[in-house]
Homo-oligomer: A and B are copies of this chain.
């Protein structure tokens, strides 16, 4: 696999100049010579092949030789609104794994029982970008700014909405209810789970109570379980 760069600003030009950090990585660290083929992804489905035209360690110039649009386009859309974990490593881990497994949108959801109420989205975005490159994906998941549960509920859901919670009550599985290709939104609560009031509000708003199985899963594990199950439900 050739070296992959994330170039959201690539546009339609026939050449692309890597920024100073990428140029240094490409020429100084990897020591790639002129003529070497590399790949670029624009984060919106574009997968480019390019050749190193000028091996400048500060301004490495690439000649675009080909592009594939909608590269490995996912067959479905998944948006997970999830409470950031108290230990941010667990949340960053979720972002990395969800990106590998397949996800379109992530919203850090600040709930009544959230111990962590802020996140550094710039840092989290970098973790997502690294995972996108590592798993050779051309679509960059969207990371929204953190939002409070009630504010999030004030907007009508843009997809079939589910809420995964641990309290007793009638619940359904994704399998058997989600149709292939359907857009899905899943809410995942904090370590202490959603409050009864939050669950009631979601159900009144038309969310379906979701079960991920009998085992008790950590917040970040529950989020990833949803990513994998959606992938399986949409596997051709």
A235 contacts B135, CB within 8 Å? no
Q: Which residues of B contact A221 (CB under 8 A)?
A: 97, 100-101
A217 to B227, CA, bound (A): 13
Contact of A231 among B72, B102, B134, B213 (CB under 8 A): B213
Contact of A134 among B218, B232, B235 (CB under 8 A): B218
Q: How far is the CA of A232 from the CA of B100 in the complex (A)?
A: 19
**CB <8 Å contact, B217 and A100:** yes
Q: Is A140 at the interface (CB under 8 A from chain B)?
A: no
Contact A135 B225 (CB under 8 A): no
Chain B residue nearest to A175 (CB atoms) is B232
CB of A232 within 8 A of CB of B235, answer no
Does A120 belong to the interface (CB within 8 Å)?
no
Query: Please, what's the 1-or-0 string for A202-236, where 1 marks a CB less than 8 Å from any CB in chain B?
Result: 00000000000111111001001100110110010
A136, A175, A224: most-surrounded residue (chain B CB, <10 A): A224
Q: Mark A123-152, 1 if CB is under 8 A from B, else 0.
A: 000000000001111000000000000000
What are the residues of chain B within 8 A of A213 when measuring CB–CB?
Answer: 231, 235
* A219: min CB distance to chain B, Å: 11
Closest B residue, CB atoms, query A97: B221
Cβ contacts under 8 Å, A215 to chain B: 72, 100-102, 135-137, 231
Q: A76 within 8 Å of B by Cβ?
A: no
A85-134 interface (Cβ within 8 A of B) = 93, 97, 100-102, 134
Q: How far is the CB of A175 from chain B (nearest CB, A)?
A: 7
Q: Is the CB of B217 within 8 A of A135?
A: yes
Contacts of A216 in B (CB 8 A): 100, 134-136
The smallest beta-carbon distance between A172 and chain B, in angstroms, is 12
A136 to B228 CA separation, bound complex (whole angstroms): 22
| A1-40 Cβ-contact flags toward B at 8 Å (1 or 0) | 0000000000000000000000000000000000000000
Let me know if A100 and B135 touch, CB within 8 A: no
Interface residues of A (CB under 8 A from B): 72, 93, 97, 100-102, 134-137, 173, 175, 213-218, 221, 224-225, 228-229, 231-232, 235
| Nearest 7 A/B pairs, CB to CB | A228-B228, A135-B216, A100-B221, A136-B216, A135-B215, A100-B217, A97-B221
